[in-house]
A and B are shown apart, each in its own frame.
Chain A
Amino acid sequence: MMRWVILLGVLILFISCPENPLEKFPLTETGAANLPRITAVDPANGAELKDDNPNQSGIQATVTITFSDYMDETTLTTDNIEILNTTTGSKLTGFELNYNKTGRKLYIRHEDWPDDAAYLITLKTAIKNTYGSPLDGDGDNIDDGSPYDDGLTTFYTGAGSGDLVPTDQPTITDATPPQKNNQSHLPSITLTFSTNMDTATLTTSTINLLNSDSNSVSITRVSVTPTQVTFQPTDSLDNFRKYYVVVKSSQIKASYPTHTPSYLFYLDGDRDGPEADEPDSVWYFYTDDTTGHDEPPHVTDAQKITGGVKITLDQRMDGSTITATTVRVYDETGYIPGRIVTYNDGNNGYIEYYFLRGATGKLDVFVSREATSEDGLKLDSNNNGIGGEFDDDYWKYGL
């Protein structure tokens, strides 16, 4: 009875406080919701897991996974963490999980890891941080969903290294011809891959050549190895024409071990990790102009002149494309309306821009990628020999 009286007294005291101390600084909403990533694993991906208790039979060891964020401990369960013995193909059970909140470390311990085996640990996207954001397994800051954003790491015991499975998709490490002009009329279209590929998927049905009208151009596979494939057009390509190489990533597969997660087999076309709809990998090139008119214009100089600015280009320019929209000059105030004079001399084009108001401070000069030479080629500012690309605008700041 006395205990109830005391409890009641404490409760009354608490309720009658003029300001409930528990009401201080309530955070009424959650904080930032960046996707959490795996920042470190021990043993490192593909390394050996060492026995930490040699005095006891079997392999006793702990795998440590460090996260970039504070994790929701309730999601770190055996339902969301899977250990696959990739030597046998069976799932491992009987492991223990512990989470260090402060260190953001997850400890996966087993008292009897099977020896001479390789393992794949899968951390599913159901694992979330304290703000409810799911795991970003491929670290691209995009929520790709499950299983594409599952966190993966591998290790082995004893002599099991041969059964390790990859944790990344295959990628294209090199490709020819490059995205430039002046390419051969009968170019070798070669793709080099980061790993051994299923050569049955490296065919003309998965790798196409299209012309500038998006029509397919016939090509022939001239050679293929597990890491490289080469095609060549069946007929000579047109003179000075734009061609596209289209690689259908979602249909090209690597030659990976059996127990590799199935979604990792497919080519990573945009090199941002696995995703549900892997986009095609596309690039383009221009064939050589045998008449010698394939060099796009470049701005070679921009300097102040009395009452304006003079811009020099290395090609004769089409004056109709040099307008107040394609050539602009700014000062501290902003745009300076100008009177534009365009002329060509020798192999060069010139633009004189006379200000219609007084200019103050440093000048910024802009020439649009839409400025076109007499040969019909657009401005090339990234110097890849192809003009008019999205990054071909010319800017000169602080003149």
Chain B
Amino acid sequence: MKYLSAILFTVSLALGYLPSSFRNLSTAGVFDDDYDLMLDPGRIPEIEGYRLYTNLSNLVTGLERPFVNQSVNYFLLGGSGEFMKHRYLGLIFDNYSLNDPLPTGLFTREGDTIFGDGEVVNTQWLDTDGDGSFDYIINDREHRSAWDRNRELNFYLGLAFGKDNRFGFGFIHEDDRLRNFDPQVNYQIEREESTLIETRLTYLKGDTLTTMDETNHARNSIIFSSWFGRESAFNLSLGLGMIQSDSLTEADGYYFEDRNPGGDTLDYVKISSGDTFHIPYSGFEIPARIGLLKKRTGGWESEYYLDFRYLSLGVTGDGARNTISMVDSTCRPGTASGYDSITTTYSGKRSGYTVRFSTRQRFTLSKRFAFGFGLSLTNSVLTDELFDSTAQSGRYAYDDGDGVSTANDSTVTYTEMEYWQKKTTSVVRSISIPVGMEFKLIEPVTLRLGARHTTTYYDVVTTENLKGFDPRKTRVEYGDGSYSEWIDDEKLQSGTREEDSPTTHKTDYYYGLGIAIGKNLQLDLMYFNNLVNLANWRLSATLKF
């Protein structure tokens, strides 16, 4: 799980659209195309002509499968080109909105699943005294909600100028909001019982729970990139990204039973509950790059990059979880009421850096064949530290209803607290060696092949420490003025530590096709391993002018 966390952390920094082109993906990252150049604002001037990206470009996830109409329904528009002399523009915009009804767990009379908001009403007619006529009726109503609601809005805008020396400025906006309504925690259940003899309600029960899970991510980044020279070029890039991440859960529940609705006699139980969980992170990242590109004789092209990225995210002041449950009930005899409350406050920080040295060496050996390889050395250090302070308290009062305050009436209060520190330090080092080639099968079809071997060394240390606690202290105050207090014995697991240092070896293989249809259309294909089944084929189409 911790490796996954480290990976998620890395992925979370990725763009809201495909980070590289189909050509780049098919050759294990060795060969770029215009799309890759556009995402580096300093290299937009290197794109010859104009490009138009549409939904056919499949640049949001790269996973859309147009031949079976399997899509995540993004709207995408983008392109690049020179809009004034030596002034260039690159743009990608995608938008996505989903309101997906899910199975509620309820069924129609025919046994079909009800999706979205569903309601089922059941009625029972009973002849309790067996006299041949109904004398009792029970109505049950159940309503459940099940939805996924997702909205994404991303765009990239790059502006560049220059020719031999090129300067680019880019702005990236990403916004992703996901809401989930789980039918297990979004329901309304009611029961109503009536006697037909006296035509009156005899029992009412209601159980309502509304829970909303929401996850929000937003990032606004600027990046400045400059390239000096053409055949032999030097690159300097610097960026700043502001990041916000938010997890929010809000639950409200109410349960009641009234065993004599409308009657003078009160016999009931009412339970209210609420649960709010909120951990907002905000912070920044600073990416920087120094690069060198050298075009040598004989079709040999070399690239060298040194990347550095620093990240710092902190829990903002309102990171908290509040849980409360209140009960009010009649007893036999008397009444009881009270509450339990749990409040957790969070503070902490995620921070770390990544340093990567990488190189790519490409060789155009003939008009029909190009070959390349690379090397990437990465060192990443991330520290994720979270403090949570959980305070629990409660109060219950019992009154035996005899109208006098005696030792039989009591009020119980309790408090307890724990303060924990959880810290994960991840050091990830990897060596990656990609190789790729392009082979022009026939004009204009190019076969692409790629492979990448990656060895990754993990060093993950997770510690949990109890920093302090107050044991549960209970106080009972009796109606006669006396009281009693006690503290519970404590047996706590006060700390854990886990160290894991696994090493993984992985080799990935890639393949693809590039088809230039005339001067104005470029088709790129991946996942066509089954030539007669187009279902898995991924297609990207780019218009050129």
Contacts and interface: CB of A to CB of B under 8 A. Distances in A.
Interface of A: 19, 23-29, 31-34, 140-142, 307, 323-325, 328, 330, 333-337, 339, 356-358, 364, 366, 390-391, 393, 395, 397
18 contacts: A19-B465, A24-B494, A26-B468, A27-B468, A27-B470, A28-B419, A32-B486, A32-B487, A141-B483, A307-B129, A330-B332, A334-B257, A336-B259, A337-B195, A337-B263, A357-B136, A364-B332, A366-B333
Given A334-B259, A335-B267, A31 B195 contact: no
B83 to A, nearest CB: 58
B485 A356 contact: no
Contact of A337 (B257, B260, B474): B260
B267 A334 contact: yes
A141 B484 contact: yes
Contacts of A328: 265, 267
B404 interface: yes
B108 interface: no
Given A335-B260, A339-B198, A358-B136, A28 B482 contact: no
Interface string B451-494: 00000000000000111111101110000011111110000001
Contact of A358 (B128, B481, B483): B128
Given A27-B468, A356-B200, A390-B403, A395 B264 contact: no
Interface in B138-192: none
Given A142-B481, A323-B264, A336-B259, 12 more contacts: A23-B467, A31-B473, A32-B473, A33-B485, A324-B265, A330-B267, A333-B259, A337-B202, A337-B260, A356-B198, A357-B193, A364-B332
A366 B331 CA distance: 12
A334 B265 CA distance: 12
A390 B486 CA distance: 31
A136 to B, nearest CB: 10
Contacts of A335: 259-260, 265, 267
B203 interface: yes
B327 to A, nearest CB: 15
Interface in B242-266: 257, 259-260, 263-265
Interface in B202-249: 202-203
A337 B258 CA distance: 11
B417 interface: yes
A66 B371 CA distance: 93
Q: Which are the 4 A-B pairs with shortest beta-carbon distances?
A: A335-B267, A141-B482, A334-B259, A32-B485
B197 interface: yes
Contacts of B482: 140-142
Nearest to A328: B265
Contacts of B465: 19
B202 A395 contact: no
A32 to B, nearest CB: 4
Given A32-B473, A337-B260, A364-B332, A357 B203 contact: yes
Contacts of A24: 494
- Chain B binding site: helix, strand, loop or mixed by DSSP? strand
A140 B480 CA distance: 10
Contacts of A19: 465
A27 B473 CA distance: 12
Given A356-B202, A364-B332, A27 B259 contact: no
Nearest to A357: B202
A28 B469 CA distance: 6
B402 interface: yes
Interface residues of B, number: 43
A291 to B, nearest CB: 30
B195 to A, nearest CB: 4
Nearest to B269: A334
B361 to A, nearest CB: 44
Contacts of B195: 337, 356-357
Nearest to B415: A29
Given A307-B129, A333-B203, A395 B332 contact: yes
B260 A395 contact: no
Nearest to B128: A358
A140 B474 CA distance: 19
Contacts of B332: 330, 364, 366, 395, 397
Nearest to B203: A357
The CB with the most chain B CB atoms within 10 A, among A325, A337, A364, is that of A337
A32 B483 CA distance: 11
A96 to B, nearest CB: 33
A323 B264 CA distance: 9
A366 B259 CA distance: 16
A339 B135 CA distance: 14
Contacts of A33: 475, 485
B397 to A, nearest CB: 18
A27 B471 CA distance: 8
A29 B417 contact: yes
Nearest to A337: B202
Contacts of B470: 27-29
Nearest to A141: B482
Contacts of B202: 337, 356-357
Given A337-B202, A356-B195, A366-B332, A324 B468 contact: no
B498 to A, nearest CB: 16
B193 to A, nearest CB: 6
A351 to B, nearest CB: 15
Contact of B484 (A34, A334, A393): A34
Contact of B402 (A25, A26, A393): A393
Contacts of B136: 357-358
A397 B332 CA distance: 10
A357 B129 CA distance: 10
A337 B200 contact: yes
Contacts of A31: 471, 473, 487
Nearest to B485: A32
Contacts of A141: 482-484
Interface in B374-391: none
Contacts of B487: 31-32
A28 B417 contact: yes
Nearest to B478: A141
A357 B260 CA distance: 11
Nearest to A333: B259
B268 to A, nearest CB: 8
B402 A391 contact: yes
Contacts of B471: 27, 31
A293 B474 CA distance: 51
